[in-house]
Structure 1
Amino acid sequence: MAVQLSNVLKSRALWFLVLVFTLRSSLGDWYIVPSGSMQPSIEEGEYIFVNKLAYTLKFPFTSHALAQLGNPQRGDVVVFNSKVENERLVKRIIGLPGDVIAMSGDHLTINGQPAKYLDLHQVGDAVQAREQLGQMEHMMQVLPRVNPPQQNMRAVTVPADQYLVLGDNRDNSKDSRFIGFVPRSEMLGHAIRVLASFDPDHYFMPRFQRFGTAL
């Protein structure tokens, strides 16, 4: 009897794990952000929740699309598997298919309309601001002392079914300025919230004020 009960429990545990991994593969998942390329929106060491049903329903454990459920929008924070970098990245969508994007001195222009930068303030070595263009509004930062060449970008047109993505930490992000446009097929989902946050510079102490922060 004890052996039978043990086998039943093992079988149920196995099916439970299969269910969990299936849900994580197709519906929603969480990822650890290993860098500060999305500061101040996402800090290094944060666990973010990703809605995998935001854009596409995929067959579990594959990249095969079963149905298109929605379109990525400007301002969305997305997680994608970059074939160029051979790694998973998290960035913000700036350019939609057909958009003309340019940048001069970290100032964006989209389809001829310059973005507005509000509430500028200094945080350590960074200057942070609210970047606003139409309905898109989010926090971003630049590093004036760094002065990298990617602060400028010639006007480019985003191809069909592809997107231009940038990190919110503009002077410390490997994004479309380096890896090119991101195909929709590489996108895993829409990152919508910080689940938990731990500070790697201070013994991974919890940043409780960041728990549950909307993206």
Structure 2
Amino acid sequence: MKPWMRANKGFLMFLLLFGVFRTAVADWNPIPSGSMRPNLLEGDVVFVNRLAFNLKVPLTNIVLQRLGEPERGDIVTFFSPKDGTRLIKRVIALPGDTLQMRDEHLTINGRPAQYTMLDSVPETVDHVGQLTAQHISESNTGNNGNDGHAHRIQVLAQLPALRSFGPVTVPADHYLMLGDNRDNSADSRYFGFVPRELLIGKAERILVSANIQDHWQPRLQRFGMKLE
């Protein structure tokens, strides 16, 4: 074994450094489900900046230093507080925020989010069939009363879903996450608040994309797309 290691020490060092880079600096995240539709599609691969929020000991959730603060509207990757599964969702509420949802409509710190209907499209849902998906622009209002981050969400009115909850207050060093596909997403409505140490990084743009339902045909128009 030792002669083999000596002969391949350069390659082994590359693997070690590559592993450290992926677990501490930057990473990529394939999108396996439709919970972030219409903004992220199955077959997208997104670039994740692991230094956006925390500097961690590689391969652990031990935070060495805070490097930045998540903002409302950020798309982030994190480990589920329920079972450790790696997930990607949108930050909806920050530490100290009080929010509630009533019939899909959010109110954060007493300020209702603004909603604008965009369009309706057909969408096939596994084990259900083809449904009508409504695309809506959601703008969360900041604490100062100015319009905050605007992004698209998707509503599938035909599906049973948790469309109302709260009011709840987000604890210190925790975040509330929701999927953009509001009626087809397992998120903080089901597993609770996400502790800061479970954050992995900020998803910033789509690296590559392929249509997994059409023989993995590349979606060239999505290559390099910045996330809203």
Q: Does 2:202 correspond to 1:190?
A: yes
Structure 1 match to 2:127: none
Compute the TM-score of the two structures, normalised by the length of structure 1.
Answer: 0.93
Structure 2 match to 1:135: 148
Decide which moves more: 38-47 or 113-122: 113-122
Q: Deviations over 1:104-147 (max 9, x none)?
A: 1111111111111124211221110211122211111101222x
Counterpart-to-counterpart distance in 1, 2:173 and 2:7: 46
Aligned residue for 1:174, secondary structure, equals: coil
Amino acid at match of 2:45: Y
Amino acid at match of 2:13: W
Structure with a larger share of its residues in helix = 1
Counterpart-to-counterpart distance in 2, 1:154 and 1:55: 27
Tell me by how many angstroms 1:85 deviates.
Answer: 3.0
- Unaligned stretches of 5+ residues in structure 1: none
Amino acid at match of 2:136: A
Tell me by how many angstroms 1:154 deviates.
Answer: 2.2
Counterpart-to-counterpart distance in 2, 1:154 and 1:26: 35
Q: Does 2:113 correspond to 1:115?
A: yes
What's the C-alpha RMSD, in Å, of the aligned pairs? 1.6
Counterpart-to-counterpart distance in 1, 2:194 and 2:217: 34
Tell me by how many angstroms 1:209 deviates.
Answer: 1.0
Structure 1 match to 2:125: none
Counterpart-to-counterpart distance in 2, 1:162 and 1:100: 12
Aligned residue for 2:95, secondary structure, equals: coil
Residues 81, 194 of structure 2: 8 Å contact kept = no
Compute the TM-score of the two structures, normalised by the length of structure 2.
Answer: 0.87
Counterpart-to-counterpart distance in 2, 1:212 and 1:199: 16
Residues 161, 183 of structure 2: 8 Å contact kept = no
- Could you tell me the percent identity over the aligned residues? 47
The 5-angstrom pairing of residues 62-211 of structure 1 reads 62-124=60-122, 125-133=132-140, 134-146=147-159, 148-211=160-223
Counterpart-to-counterpart distance in 2, 1:38 and 1:48: 12
Counterpart-to-counterpart distance in 2, 1:36 and 1:149: 15
Residues 117, 129 of structure 1: 8 Å contact kept = yes
Aligned residue for 1:178, secondary structure, equals: helix
Amino acid at match of 1:155: P
Counterpart-to-counterpart distance in 2, 1:212 and 1:101: 34
Counterpart-to-counterpart distance in 2, 1:182 and 1:37: 17
Counterpart-to-counterpart distance in 1, 2:223 and 2:117: 24
Tell me by how many angstroms 1:8 deviates.
Answer: 7.1
Aligned residue for 1:36, secondary structure, equals: coil
Counterpart-to-counterpart distance in 1, 2:181 and 2:135: 9
